[in-house]
Structure 1
Amino acid sequence: MSAETLSAEGDTRSFLGAIIRNPYQLGAIAPSSKAVARLAASVVPDTKGAVVVELGAGGGVISDAIRDRLPQGGRQLAVELNGDMVRHLRRSRPWLEVVAGDAGDLSQLLRRAGVARADAVISSLPWTLFHGDQQKHVLDEVSTVLAPGGTFSTVITLTVVPFRRFWRFRELLDRTFATVDTAGTVWLNVPPALVFSASTPLGTQGDG
Structure 2
Amino acid sequence: MSSETRPANGDTRTFLGAIIRNPFELGAIAPSSKAVARLAASVVPVTHGAVVVELGAGGGVISDAIRERLPPGGRQLAVELNDDMVRHLRRSRPWLEVIADDAGDLEKLLGRAGVTRVDAVISSLPWTLFDEQRQKHILDGVSAALALGGRFSTVITLSAMPSRRFRRFRGLLNHTFATVGTMGPVWLNVPPALVFTASRSHSDPGE
TM (normalized to structure 2)? 0.94
Q: Which residue of 2 is the match for residue 174 of structure 1?
A: 174
* CA–CA separation in structure 2 for the residues paired with 1:54 and 1:28: 16
Query: Unaligned stretches of 5+ in structure 1?
Result: none
* CA–CA separation in structure 1 for the residues paired with 2:46 and 2:35: 20
> Any runs of at least 4 consecutive aligned residues in structure 1 with deviations exceeding 4 A, and if so which?
3-6, 201-204
Structure 1 residues 143-154: aligned runs within 5 Å? 143-154=143-154
Secondary structure of 1:180's counterpart equals: strand
* CA–CA separation in structure 1 for the residues paired with 2:6 and 2:42: 25
Secondary structure of 1:43's counterpart equals: coil
* CA–CA separation in structure 2 for the residues paired with 1:5 and 1:15: 19
Letter in 1 for 2:26: L
Q: Percent identity?
A: 77
Q: Is the 8 A contact 1:18 1:84 kept in 2?
A: yes
1:45 aligns with 2:19: no
Secondary structure of 2:104's counterpart equals: helix
Shift in alpha-carbon separation, 1:45–1:198, aligned structure 2, 3 A: same
Per the TM alignment, residue 200 of structure 1 is displaced from its structure 2 partner at its CA by 1.2
Query: When the two structures are aligned, how many residues end up with a matched partner?
Result: 202
Letter in 1 for 2:190: V
Q: Is the 8 A contact 1:176 1:203 kept in 2?
A: no
CA deviation map 1:119-176 (0-9, x unaligned): 0000000000000000000000000100111000000000111110000000000000
Q: Which residue of 1 is the match for residue 24 of structure 2?
A: 24
Secondary structure of 1:153's counterpart equals: strand
Per the TM alignment, residue 185 of structure 1 is displaced from its structure 2 partner at its CA by 1.2
Per the TM alignment, residue 5 of structure 1 is displaced from its structure 2 partner at its CA by 6.6
Structure 1 residues 1-208: aligned runs within 5 Å? 4=4, 7-200=7-200
Letter in 2 for 1:69: R
* CA–CA separation in structure 1 for the residues paired with 2:153 and 2:118: 13
* CA–CA separation in structure 2 for the residues paired with 1:172 and 1:183: 18
Per the TM alignment, residue 178 of structure 1 is displaced from its structure 2 partner at its CA by 1.1
TM (normalized to structure 1)? 0.94
Letter in 2 for 1:91: R
Letter in 2 for 1:153: S
Letter in 2 for 1:96: L
Q: Is the 8 A contact 1:143 1:203 kept in 2?
A: no
Shift in alpha-carbon separation, 1:49–1:4, aligned structure 2, 3 A: closer
